[in-house]
């Protein structure tokens, strides 16, 4: 194999590929990326046997076709530190020579035929969706995934297709995020559910950040494939049953307050400055036309922040983990968020229209 590659394009694809490569594994081959010349350019493939990524560098001059399997970290370091506009990558079967204007690197790789296959989109997709819509769905849910839990089903994000709608749901048992968006095209009338690993969703979020067109989504019994703009992300699915999330969302929260998102986010941040592990959270006190947020930390002091709100109901006091609030408010993408509350012991719900529902459990404050 011999190809002249645009360096910045190479770095862009390697940035994504290295997020997939297994960092801790006894198998050195899984710490590598496979380079394959194609009619479209240079295909870079990476997998950790759970998540797979294929990305094409298009600004390539292929001198001779072929494949090479190289350590991902070394290739990335060379490409990132180089000052050249292009790099020559030539594999002679024994080692790979990466040449710039004033530098030569000889790297020992592996046999590319021993690398595990990285799935591509094959056959018709189940649906097509705007890349930025899917990006927003991921952004509004992935932060709520359980980080460590023996209930493996909540270590991933539920993808649920109903008609022309795609919903993503994530929970860690203390909060739940549910985001819904419309698809551009549906090729299958069947409703589907699948649980996608958190790592896959995070990789996909990064890929979608640089795509401005539709992507195709294909489901199977044990795999999901998302493809668009020269990238393909594939993944095994999480086994298990996701909790019946619709059943845990209260329907009797009778106090609705519209809150200006940016002002509310700022108030939560400021009120949380004196919250700590002992004080556990921020207290929200709704009174006549006013919301007072406060926190108290032993031996540190107290913080109080007030804001005007349209609330005329009976006084209501409830405590929340401020991190849980700020993570959701940052991705609300709306000037107004609607709070739905019942009392200080019941879960709070925060909504943005009919597209985003966020449930968060209260915390007890002393």
Question: When comparing pLDDT for 4 and 188, which is higher?
Answer: 4
- Are 142 and 157 spatial neighbours (Cβ–Cβ below 8 Å)? yes
pLDDT 10s digits, 7-19: 999 999 999 999 9
Enter the tokens of residue 81.
Answer: 């530190």
Place of tokens 């950040």: 209
- Are 294 and 282 spatial neighbours (Cβ–Cβ below 8 Å)? yes
Largest CA distance in the chain: 78
Looking at residue 279, its pLDDT comes to 61
Find the helix or strand (DSSP H, E) in which 359 lies. strand 356-360
Q: How far is CA 362 from the centre of its chain?
A: 25
Q: Is pLDDT above 90 for 90?
A: yes
Q: How confident is the model at residue 348 (pLDDT cuts 50, 70, 90)?
A: very high
Is residue 269 helix, strand or coil? Answer: helix
> Cα separation of 33 and 15, whole Å?
12
> Cα separation of 79 and 59, whole Å?
15
* CB neighbour class for 256 (10 Å; exposed up to 12, middle 13-18, buried from 19): middle
> Cα separation of 170 and 156, whole Å?
7
pLDDT 10s digits, 257-295: 999 999 999 999 999 998 877 667 999 999 999 999 999
* CB neighbour class for 244 (10 Å; exposed up to 12, middle 13-18, buried from 19): exposed
Q: Is pLDDT above 90 for 26?
A: no
Looking at residue 151, its pLDDT comes to 75
pLDDT 10s digits, 303-322: 999 999 999 999 999 999 99
Looking at residue 278, its pLDDT comes to 64
What structural domains and CATH numbers belong to the chain? 2-114 (3.10.150.10), 127-245 (3.10.150.10), 249-360 (3.10.150.10)
pLDDT 10s digits, 174-232: 999 999 999 999 988 889 999 999 999 999 999 999 898 999 999 998 999 999 999 99
Q: Is pLDDT above 70 for 366?
A: no
pLDDT 10s digits, 106-162: 999 999 999 999 999 999 999 999 999 999 999 999 999 998 766 789 999 999 999
Question: Among residues 221, 172, 226, which one has the least CA distance to residue 194?
Answer: 221
Residue-by-residue DSSP string for 164-217: TEEEEEEE-SSEEEEEEEE-SEES----EEEEEEHHHHHHHHHHHTT--SEEEE
Find the helix or strand (DSSP H, E) in which 287 lies. strand 282-287
pLDDT 10s digits, 32-76: 999 999 999 999 999 999 999 999 999 999 999 999 999 999 999
256 Cβ partners below 8 Å, 6+ apart? Answer: 338, 339, 340
């Amino acid at each position: 194999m011999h190809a002249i590659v645009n360096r910045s394009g190479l770095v862009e694809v390697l940035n994504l590929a290295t997020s997939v490569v297994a960092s801790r594994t006894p198998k050195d081959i899984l710490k590598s990326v496979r380079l394959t010349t194609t009619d479209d350019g240079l295909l870079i493939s990476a997998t950790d046997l759970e998540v797979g990524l294929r990305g094409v560098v298009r600004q390539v001059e292929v001198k001779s076709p072929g494949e090479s399997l190289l350590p991902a970290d070394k290739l990335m370091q060379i490409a990132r530190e180089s000052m050249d506009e292009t790099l020559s990558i030539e594999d002679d079967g024994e080692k790979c020579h990466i040449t710039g204007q004033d530098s030569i690197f000889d790297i020992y790789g592996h046999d590319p035929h021993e690398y595990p296959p990285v799935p591509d989109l094959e056959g018709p997709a189940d649906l097509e969706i705007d890349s930025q819509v899917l990006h927003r769905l991921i952004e509004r849910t992935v932060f709520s995934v359980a980080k460590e839990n023996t209930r493996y089903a909540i270590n991933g994000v539920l993808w649920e297709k109903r008609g022309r709608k795609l919903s993503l749901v994530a929970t860690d048992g203390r909060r739940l995020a549910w985001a819904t968006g419309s698809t551009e095209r549906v090729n299958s009338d069947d409703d589907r559910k699948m649980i996608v690993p958190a790592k896959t969703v995070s990789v996909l979020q990064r890929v979608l950040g640089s795509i401005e067109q539709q992507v195709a989504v294909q489901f199977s019994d044990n795999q999901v494939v998302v493809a668009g703009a020269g990238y393909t992300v594939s993944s095994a699915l999480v086994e298990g049953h996701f909790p019946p999330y619709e059943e845990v969302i209260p329907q009797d929260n009778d106090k609705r307050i519209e809150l200006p998102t940016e002002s509310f986010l700022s108030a939560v941040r400021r009120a949380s400055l004196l919250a700590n592990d002992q004080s556990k959270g921020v207290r929200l006190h709704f009174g006549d036309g006013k919301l007072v947020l406060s926190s108290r930390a032993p031996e540190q002091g107290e913080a109080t922040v007030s804001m005007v709100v349209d609330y005329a109901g009976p006084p209501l006091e409830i405590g929340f983990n401020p991190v849980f609030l700020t993570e959701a408010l940052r991705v609300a993408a709306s000037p107004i968020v609607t709070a739905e509350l019942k009392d200080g012991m019941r879960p709070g719900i925060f909504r943005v229209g009919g597209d985003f529902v966020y449930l968060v459990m209260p915390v007890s404050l002393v």
